[in-house]
A and B are shown apart, each in its own frame.
Chain A
């Protein structure tokens, strides 16, 4: 009884510690992930996804991440997933050896690397769900009766292509783990399980051959879960560690330990994992990027005070920044421009390596300026480079800008996508009502402001440079105070640079 409570206490403590750690390090990344992958409630779309390799993992991932915009939801979901992964490791370990503590403790180690994957903006959450599916499948395989080898082999051989189709390339972990499991249990008699890596290779070959997967690199490595060519050390480490943990647990099966020691080992494993992840996190974490996605979220919530209050005066402040937008919203941009380490106007924007985040910043600032066509183009590009194809924030910018620029048919296309989401369909419904009623549309504050800002004479964005475009917009709508402040700030920075 005491041991049972000890385990519950361990998982509870792990959940709390992990939850707190994840929340404080990843909170804004979750908001960012939520706008990277839109779950579309459409059977045809769901079916099309299920027909694709790894489609089930993709769907599960986007279903979960749609909730990430709710405060604490991302933390809760990810913590639950990590605990689930650790728990499955413990269950697998229990089947292989009696030393539950080692199984449980070491099971947290691969989880560290899953956690660190979150820091890579190109990594898709699909890899996480695929990993959990595969671990569950390993557990299911290990649970098959040990005295019925034919059943196990049949199940193993058939399950590899099936799981590959559901989860994608992480099935490599599954194939290797169930092979190891057979060898652990049966020694040399388990060698026929070499058939599993062979079935995996054949499955991968078929997928590559029929263009269901782009290349061998995608077919067998974490590369499949990336939206763009990038480094993938952390998921790869998590993959490698999964069979290593199994071997480690099996190797300790001869050690006799009391339940109490087991719990202590499990706790030590968790604390070690937590400490290692903290250390590694500090090595890979980009504070400037994290700050950017923090501001991105606050700007989407119009929480201008928070952006200003938390701004670091020493950080370079480029003309196009959320901070300047916040200051302009508060009517303080001109007054406080010099206070926040202003940068030369020739550079204009923070040189972020992340295209999507940079484009999102542009579309947000341009929309606030009433720089409609530039906002539309930035939103289009940001949506295009979004890993899951649709970014709800940018789709809304696209709807507004296309309506302002008198392209309702294009706006309709984006509304059609938002209609099929859980959290954005209400907004879409409101826009439709607006589109159906021209009088209401004329009265709508945002649309009216955007329409007022359109320069009276056609021209080119970036043709005369940003300054020329700002001047045109300011001339078109003298009541546009946001733009007026930025225009003045531009001139001040120009003068500063001239000196």
Chain B
């Protein structure tokens, strides 16, 4: 009898979308991903989530917007939005918020959690995210790939998978101003080279010269698309025995260079390639006239003194007309004075803010649990931790959206190993809002079964047309030799 009554009750619930409540649970529900009180762009894919409760046997989500509400029933805790209803919800509530109230069916009837809100920003974020999927061991791999995800839907496309080639390592994908037609990455081993794609003109480069310690490594495009700043690094990797930071990656030497694409020339200056310091992670300013980079006093011997490498944030003038550098280096964040070590400086396209990763030492922050994101207001030089974005675990690589309002960053907050991409809204005053994990159709299952880390998440403004076949074809062409010049 009781069973029949509950069925009747369920039908009633479906019809009325407001179950008879037996009690209130005086807190918000635990959900994965944690989308409670997050700020989202109006073009984001449905933010499906799972209610993490041991006690419930059924769930009902009532999602209310400004003018409409909808009910979603779930038997397994997964609250999944229909594509159209989500789009409508976003459209109607852009600039406002949507409220989600979860009802849970328990043995003694339906209980209600406290509602939570999702704040919908009127503007849209760049529709694509490019990343590399890589096993987080960093020593061996069978598969790795550069992928592109449409963040307005769940569509993911492979740009290049190493299984299309010779199984070699593919890394350091980078875009000029988020432009899908201007990108580069490196392939190592058999099809080695730096692959540059620029408005249909594709090149495979041999970037190792007699004067540089390695082939080109960490890239950043000049906004003009004429140059790319790179580091060259002599990198090594070791495994910790008991330290929670499983792996230590460190440089034994590094320099910063600028690659002149048209002239196939690698240019550097004494100030960027000093033997007495390690320079790495170059970044151009949006106004095209500054080159930011990280620099540490050279430390030796390695690995004994790996904890002594502390990178400061530096800047040097850059003249894009003739690819020359200024005569002095400014230090924006002095690691020796303020502590910590800087990596991945990234400036918002409006030129106002610079976000960097700060760890205790070294520059390979993805393996440092203490690594957090910090922001510098370039107008007044204020440095502040991005408290809403940081967690107890690693926050590392990050990149800005075209409108300077969104930041995507990699974090290991969920399990301490498998890096996932989080997206955060940065308002006009530079305040970071609570970030959200990249949505998936069934996020709990998806991320549970995902055995790859999301590496180097980058916003992209459109679909990347280059595909694996084109890359393999390019790999068969003769590589272009680069020249070296010290200015």
Residues of A within 8 A of B157 (CB): 211
Quote the shortest CB–CB distance from B86 to chain A (angstroms): 20
B164 touches A373 (CB 8 A): no
A211 touches B415 (CB 8 A): no
B415 touches A412 (CB 8 A): yes
Bound CA span A376–B136, Å: 12
A460 touches B240 (CB 8 A): yes
**A384 CB within 8 Å of chain B:** yes
Residues of A within 8 A of B414 (CB): 409
The interface stretch among B138-146, B323-331, B333-341 is: B138-146
B140 touches A384 (CB 8 A): yes
* Residue from B141, B241, B415, B467 having most chain A Cβ neighbours under 10 A: B241
Across the two chains, which residue of chain A brings its CB closest to B140? A381
B239 touches A377 (CB 8 A): yes
A459 touches B241 (CB 8 A): yes
- Count contacts on A: residues with CB < 8 A to the other chain: 45
A384 touches B418 (CB 8 A): no
Across the two chains, which residue of chain A brings its CB closest to B162? A214
B303 touches A211 (CB 8 A): no
**B442 CB within 8 Å of chain A:** yes
A45 touches B163 (CB 8 A): no
Across the two chains, which residue of chain A brings its CB closest to B306? A460
Quote the shortest CB–CB distance from B154 to chain A (angstroms): 12
The interface stretch among A109-117, A247-255, A284-292, A461-469 is: A461-469
Question: A214-B163, A227-B142, A381-B139 known; A373 and B415 CB under 8 Å?
Answer: no
A215 touches B244 (CB 8 A): no
A373 touches B468 (CB 8 A): no
**A162 CB within 8 Å of chain B:** no
Question: A214-B164, A215-B468, A412-B415 known; A380 and B137 CB under 8 Å?
Answer: yes
Residues of B within 8 A of A44 (CB): 442, 445, 449
Question: A208-B469, A214-B468, A389-B451 known; A462 and B238 CB under 8 Å?
Answer: yes
A373 touches B142 (CB 8 A): no
Residues of A within 8 A of B442 (CB): 44
**B462 CB within 8 Å of chain A:** no
A410 touches B415 (CB 8 A): yes
- Count contacts on B: residues with CB < 8 A to the other chain: 37
**B105 CB within 8 Å of chain A:** no
Residues of B within 8 A of A227 (CB): 142
Residues of B within 8 A of A42 (CB): 445, 449
Across the two chains, which residue of chain B brings its CB closest to A379? B137
Interfacial residues of chain B within 369-416, with CB under 8 A of chain A in the complex: 414-416
Given B239, B241, B448, which contacts A472 in the complex, CB threshold below 8 Å? B241
Bound CA span A373–B240, Å: 7
Across the two chains, which residue of chain A brings its CB closest to B247? A377
Bits for B439-454, please: 1 = Cβ < 8 Å to A, else 0.
0001001001101000
A458 touches B241 (CB 8 A): yes
Residues of B within 8 A of A229 (CB): 166-167
Quote the shortest CB–CB distance from A487 to chain B (angstroms): 16
**B417 CB within 8 Å of chain A:** yes
Residues of A within 8 A of B153 (CB): none
**A158 CB within 8 Å of chain B:** no
Given B242, B248, B467, which contacts A211 in the complex, CB threshold below 8 Å? B467
Bound CA span A143–B472, Å: 43
Bits for A2-46, please: 1 = Cβ < 8 Å to B, else 0.
000000000000000000000000000000000000001010110
Across the two chains, which residue of chain B brings its CB closest to A210? B157
**B63 CB within 8 Å of chain A:** no
* Residue from A208, A386, A461 having most chain B Cβ neighbours under 10 A: A461
A460 touches B163 (CB 8 A): no
**A427 CB within 8 Å of chain B:** no
* Residue from B243, B303, B442, B449 having most chain A Cβ neighbours under 10 A: B449
Bound CA span A478–B163, Å: 47
A460 touches B244 (CB 8 A): no
Quote the shortest CB–CB distance from A436 to chain B (angstroms): 12
Residues of A within 8 A of B243 (CB): 458
Given B239, B418, B448, which contacts A462 in the complex, CB threshold below 8 Å? B239
A377 touches B241 (CB 8 A): no
Given A211, A372, A384, which contacts B468 in the complex, CB threshold below 8 Å? A211
Residues of A within 8 A of B135 (CB): 380, 384
* Residue from A228, A359, A381 having most chain B Cβ neighbours under 10 A: A381
Bound CA span A324–B220, Å: 51
A454 touches B242 (CB 8 A): yes
Pairs A–B under 8 Å by Cβ, sample size 15: A214-B163, A376-B246, A381-B139, A384-B451, A405-B244, A410-B416, A417-B449, A454-B242, A455-B242, A458-B240, A459-B242, A460-B241, A460-B303, A462-B238, A463-B238
Which B residues contact A (CB, under 8 angstroms)?
A: 135, 137, 139-142, 157-158, 161, 163-164, 166-167, 238-244, 246, 248, 303, 414-418, 442, 445, 448-449, 451, 467-469, 472
